[in-house]
Amino acid sequence: MDGHSLAYRAFFALPAENFTTASGQTTNAVYGFASMLANTLRDEAPTHFAVAFDVSRKTWRSQDFPEYKANRSSTPDEFKGQVELIGELLDTMNAVRFAVDGFEADDIIATLATRAEAAGFEVLIVTGDRDSFQLVSDHVTVLYPTKGVSELTRFTPEKVQEKYGLTPSQYPDFAALRGDPSDNLPGIPGVGEKTATKWINQFGSFAELVERADEVKGKVGQSLRDHLEAVKLNRHLTELVRDVELPKSVGDLERAPYDRTALKGFLEVLEIRNPSLRERLLAVDPGAAEDEPPAPAAGVELDGSVLGAGELAPWLERHGAQPLGVATVAAWALGVGSVSEIALAAAGGAAAWFDTTQLDEADERAFASWISDPDRPKVMHGAKEALRVFPEHGWDIRGITMDTALAAYLVKPGRRSFALDALSVEYLHRELAPAAADGQLAFGAEDEQAEADALMAQARAVLDLGETFGGRLGEVGAGELLHDMELPTSLLLARMERHGISADRAHLEAMEQQFAGAVQQAVKEAHASVGHEFNLGSPKQLQEVFFGELNLPKTKKTKTGYTTDADALAWLANQTDHELPVIMLRHREQARLRSTVEGLIKTIAADGRIHTTFSQTVAATGRLSSTDPNLQNVPVRTDEGRAIRRGFVVGEGFESLMTADYSQIELRVMAHLSEDEGLIEAFTSGEDLHTTVASQVFGVEGSAVDAEMRRKIKAMSYGLAYGLSAFGLSQQLNIEAAEARALMDTYFERFGGVRDYLRRVVDEARATGYTATMFGRRRYLPDLNSDNRQRREAAERMALNAPIQGTAADIVKMAMLRVDAALREAGLASRMLLQVHDEIVLEIAPGERERVEELVRREMSAAAELRAPLDVSVGVGPDWESAAH
């Protein structure tokens, strides 16, 4: 396999933005290469295997022809580092890889193919470089990618003849005459592929053509003679070297069993968790057939029982006093859920499984008593899911001492997945079989036993992980965070998800129709602006219209042409007077709004309410997120977004909605952490913060600060809190990078404490490997010391913003817990419904508004003591928008 060639193809075949780790490492080339590798090894089942890589662009070809490949653009930053990672992947698979100074991967492959063929092997070459076609023979086949990295075309001698009208040995002659723009090898003016093929067939070879060049008539003949030296050099450069000195022989390339633990660890570190890819890679492990199941760790043998009616109560009597791992199979949709199966596991090996529909009255009483007893320790994974669904059965869960998903999140918040099976492999070296999904029970006694065994094994893994993470939490100082913040937040979020928020279906449906009409209007205007119809959703047609028909300025070049993404459209709108870029921007915005509203309507439950799902483990900073629907997608600063929010209304039996949030919480946290007296004074002066800061930065009176000055300072302040660079600030403000840097320097001259803090936090994180919030939440950033510039700079940005954003997120969680506790202690019927960004939404019971507002202001203000005191804004109204403040 040609490592560089295939990695580069994979990089351009898969969108980089979809393959990025939490630390900023792009992995699309690794993923695409791994997928092609798995498929090829599966389909071809080779006995011997190797991958060849280029070392650098300095080869014997660049020495003989300095302009060789000189026209190639610099390697994209997102691609850098991925070839090294592919090498690490191959090492975990015990695959041989070659890279030789002065030679290209093609030369290594040519050498191996020649030697292998001579030794009697059937040889397959997987490469995206057509120069390899010269190696094709009756025993050598080239597998050439013809569609991204998903399809390979087999080039045999017959296929080469069919494609080019030449034999494989004639291919270098053809390539020399044609030239190769990608390698910067000049062609002959006026001579295309057809003429090159005709000459080679007519004269038999390139050498014979050169010898008899005078016989070629016409302009093309003269052109050939004028460029004869260039094409001779081309022919020299396109010939692959077949005798490169290599450290291993063909016999050394026999495939060997993987280091499966290292491979799984590699995929986990790169957050490549697609189960299909993992299964495909493991399925072609030469050692898979002889791979024995791992010996169970000490103490994991299960004495499992499938309990029938009347058997749960005595089992709990025997085992319920000790900590038990709990695993469930549950379903939840549109505010309604149920639990179909539950498994319990004890440290001594005892385990039980039962079908919740088969419990008798004694079992029901025993389980309800055990699950609600705070003195009976329970260890769960993703406890919020059970906390949300168990009340459907009348069960109240108390006594959760450990949630292994939340614990894993606090130990390593940068992970993309906190799935139980992945954690079990990583921390317990134990693979788990999947249990039933979506509440579907197995059919038949044999299937039921397998289902029960799988769920009991999960319960035991949860219990063992709980013990493991108990120690890990202590090591990272996160024990209090779990018990005092995250677990109580799970309980509160589960109740909020069950409550949901009432929706005005008619209003939202009218909004959807409005946006649909706006989309159609934009389509008509776009067609009118160019005089014909075209597909606004087709990048190819947009490129033809923008850069072909209208001849608008070229945007950033991609593999598929000039980009027409949102940034490109905004740039075009500023660069040209043509109306189409503006129409396209409006079309996309209206289409996005329509999609948002359609999603909201689909999630209105039978009770007329929308029940979003909150997640505590998505954002590494500690902020909450929501899905089904994602309420953070509802815009807040546009007229359309505000209109959508009017569709969220007060529910029956309540009198109003109340919103409460913190004013400029990130900037207050930054002032507190930096201890910058000037910034703290700006907060405590009572004046508008951004105007006050702008007057100090620009050296003018507050009354002289205009809107543009205030805008720049606001972007600057928030940008610093989010780790924005001078380049990022210039992009945001649409100013030159030098101006942005000067603005930043002036800001730091006035607020030196902020500058010193930002420097200090990165230096400390580089030394310790992590940042921490005021509440002790850590974020580990090993890439701060990476040799890869992209990864290092991404880690530095995270080090800048993690303590600020993380502290703000922690404060919001503490505020939620304080408000909820105060509401319950006061015996009020008002309740919390949503938390979106830094805003809390409550539903107010009749007659409780004043008491709730006083309570909310008091508890939120006291959530943390900052040098720049917390400021709480409160609003009340019949819908979410009217309750804004």
491 with 520, same domain: the answer is no
CB contact burial 445-481 (16+ within 10 A = b; e otherwise): eeebeebbbbbbbbbbbbbbbbebbbebbeebebbeb
484 with 405, same domain: the answer is yes
Asked if residue 258 belongs to a domain, the reply is no
The 10s digit of each residue's pLDDT in 481-504 is 999 999 999 999 999 999 999 999
Q: Is the pLDDT of residue 441 over 50?
A: no
Element (H, E) at 812: helix 789-825
What mean pLDDT comes out for the span 856-884? 94
Residue bearing the bigger pLDDT, 786 or 849: 849
What mean pLDDT comes out for the span 727-755? 84
Dist CA 317 CA 263 (whole Å): 44
What mean pLDDT comes out for the span 330-345? 91
336 with 475, same domain: the answer is yes
Asked if residue 165 belongs to a domain, the reply is no
* Residue whose token pair is 């945001």: 732
550 with 476, same domain: the answer is no
593 with 577, same domain: the answer is yes
pLDDT of residue 610: 96
CATH at residue 433 = 3.30.420.10
Q: What is the mean pLDDT of the chain?
A: 86
Asked if residue 837 belongs to a domain, the reply is no
Q: Is the pLDDT of residue 71 over 70?
A: no
DSSP string, 596-614: HHHHHHHTB-TTSEE--EE
pLDDT of residue 298: 44
Strand partners, 327: 343
484 with 532, same domain: the answer is no
430 with 573, same domain: the answer is no
pLDDT of residue 646: 95
- Of the ranges 551-555, 558-562, 756-760, 859-863, which is most confident? 859-863
Domain end (from 610, 629, 644): 610
Report how many domains make up the chain. Answer: 4
Dist CA 109 CA 114 (whole Å): 8
346 with 473, same domain: the answer is yes
pLDDT of residue 74: 59
Dist CA 413 CA 404 (whole Å): 13
pLDDT of residue 355: 93
Domain end (from 610, 633, 654): 610
pLDDT of residue 174: 77
- Of the ranges 382-396, 536-550, 627-641, 727-741, which is most confident? 382-396
Strands 336-345 and 350-355: antiparallel
What mean pLDDT comes out for the span 655-666? 94
Asked if residue 617 belongs to a domain, the reply is no
Structure tokens at 223: 């052109």
Sorting pLDDT into bands at 50, 70 and 90, what band is 294? very low
Q: Out of 64-73, 305-314, 397-406, 425-434, pick the least confident.
A: 64-73
pLDDT of residue 180: 65
pLDDT of residue 856: 97
Q: Is the pLDDT of residue 186 over 90?
A: no
540 with 564, same domain: the answer is yes
Q: Is the pLDDT of residue 819 over 90?
A: yes
Domain end (from 475, 500, 525): 500
- Of the ranges 13-27, 219-233, 411-425, 798-812, which is most confident? 798-812
Query: CB-based contacts of 595: which residues, under 8 Å, 6+ apart?
Result: none
What mean pLDDT comes out for the span 205-222? 73
Element (H, E) at 514: helix 505-530
Closest by CA to 456, choosing from 433, 438, 479, 473, is 433
Query: CB-based contacts of 319: which residues, under 8 Å, 6+ apart?
Result: 344, 346, 348, 350, 352
Under 8 Å between Cβ of 139 and 125: no
Asked if residue 852 belongs to a domain, the reply is no
Residue bearing the bigger pLDDT, 569 or 276: 569
Closest by CA to 285, choosing from 264, 262, 259, 266, is 259
CATH at residue 552 = 1.20.1060.10
452 with 512, same domain: the answer is no
Q: Give percent of the chain above pLDDT 90.
A: 45
Q: Out of 196-200, 515-519, 705-709, pick the least confident.
A: 196-200
What mean pLDDT comes out for the span 164-177? 80
pLDDT of residue 684: 86
Asked if residue 438 belongs to a domain, the reply is yes
Asked if residue 616 belongs to a domain, the reply is no
What mean pLDDT comes out for the span 550-567? 81
Q: Give percent of the chain above pLDDT 70.
A: 92
Sorting pLDDT into bands at 50, 70 and 90, what band is 801? confident
CA angle, 164 as apex, 161 and 165 as ends, to 5°?
Answer: 55
Tell me the C-alpha to C-alpha distance, in Å, between residue 415 and each of 395, 410, 423, 483, 796.
32, 10, 11, 21, 18
560 with 702, same domain: the answer is no
pLDDT of residue 606: 94
What mean pLDDT comes out for the span 271-286? 83
Q: Out of 80-89, 267-276, 404-413, 599-608, pick the least confident.
A: 267-276
Q: What is the CA radius of gyration of the chain?
A: 33
pLDDT of residue 22: 64
Give the per-residue SS3 of 49-67: CEEECCCCCCEHHHHHCCC
Sorting pLDDT into bands at 50, 70 and 90, what band is 439? very low
CATH at residue 140 = 3.40.50.1010
Dist CA 832 CA 498 (whole Å): 11
448 with 518, same domain: the answer is no
Sorting pLDDT into bands at 50, 70 and 90, what band is 150? low
Asked if residue 825 belongs to a domain, the reply is no
Structural domain of 704:
677-750
Q: Is the pLDDT of residue 442 over 50?
A: no
Helices (H) and strands (E) in the chain — how many of each?
35, 24
The 10s digit of each residue's pLDDT in 529-544 is 999 999 998 888 998 9
Q: Is the pLDDT of residue 282 over 80?
A: yes
Strand partners, 773: none
